[in-house]
Amino acid sequence: MWAMKGIVVGYDGSADARAALDWATTQSVRRGVQLTVVHAGSDVPVIPGPWPEGRAAPDHSAFSVAAEGAARAWHTLCEEHAAGLQENTDISGITCAGDPASVLLTAGIDAEMLVLGSGGRHLTAPHHVGRVAWEVVNHARCPVVIVSSRFPGAPSARERVVVGVDGSPHSLAAVRFAADTAALSRGGLHLVAAYRSPVQDDRTTTGRLPLEESGGPVLDTSAHHQVWEQLREAEAAVEREYRDLPVRLEALEGDPVYVLADVSAHAGLIVLGRHERRADPARGAGDVARGVLIRARCPVVVVASTH
């Protein structure tokens, strides 16, 4: 297996994988980059030499899964062309023998992003994010997008992009990715910073408690001012590269997991930084990213600080 450029999407024919493929195809059109549909698994036979030229892959085999995904992407691409979006997108399907997470991590070394379905077998948190998705999120060098078929509707070209801000390098990497995505989709960018009140009881952190009204704090706290400065710094970084991009800032009191999960209900995409140094090695991508992934109601992107 070799590293690939553009967007790499994992595909196994499931409902989540189809949702991920549709999302990835739209992004490849907007970005004008190659889309590679990858199917991997232990059921893929190893064949010495190339597949015989002119010979179709057998029906219902592992080889037909990637071909099915590429055909679905082409269908979506035709719909995007009809909508007047960018053309000339290169789409290919590849089938590989091996552990799906390992194959996708190798394929995504030089990719712009990896996209895959949540893959969980259960519909309630915390079980609806599968093993492959967790491993790829925890270890990928490029941004990883997790999409679920449970998310309502298809993403609109003008849906807003939400990004969690905490002032860290991981957060700034997420802000850059989010701004680029929002600019390409001609949507708005929503910068959200969450914080805990010194008197906040953890047992009550089941949602967001807005402390903003008409641009001014209703309850003035040092924590509120600190995150507001982080939001201003992120806004300045965005404005240096995207002067015409609509940007909204919001500081909200509450547990970041619940705040961001709540905001995701009205977003087209939510973007988070990956905090490796703070993460428990047994848990992976960090408490906030983990918590949001299992509660979000829109596609989630996890961005490593090296991006």
3-class SS letters over 185-251: HCCCEEEEEEECCCCCCHHHCCCCEECEECCEECCCCHHHHHHHHHHHHHHHHHHHHCCCCCEEEEE
Q: Comparing C-alpha atoms, which of 271, 259, 262 is closest to residue 297?
A: 262
**For residue 74, which of 109, 42, 29 has the smallest C-alpha distance?**
29
**pLDDT value at residue 221:** 63
Let me know: does 306 contact 141? Beta carbons within 8 Å: yes
- CA quadruple 5, 268, 177, 40: dihedral positive or negative? negative
Of the candidates 208, 190, 200, the residue with the CA atom closest to the CA atom of residue 259:
208
Please identify every stretch of the chain with a pLDDT value under 70, giving residue numbers as ranges: 1-3, 42-89, 120-128, 152-158, 197-221, 276-286, 306-307
Predicted pLDDT at 64: 64
271 and 174 in contact (C-beta within 8 Å)?
Answer: yes
Quote the pLDDT of residue 290: 87
The pLDDT tens digits for 268-303 are 999 999 876 444 444 444 578 889 998 999 999 999
Q: Dig out the tokens for 297 from the structure.
A: 């109601």
CB half-sphere exposure, 286, CA atoms < 13 A = 19
Runs of H (alpha helix) within the chain: 15-31, 62-82, 100-107, 131-139, 169-185, 222-241, 256-264, 287-293
**Tokens of residue 193, six digits:** 């910073």
List domains and CATH numbers for the chain.
7-147 (3.40.50.620), 161-303 (3.40.50.620)
What pLDDT is stored for residue 280 in this prediction?
42
Separation of alpha carbons 214 and 232, rounded Å:
16
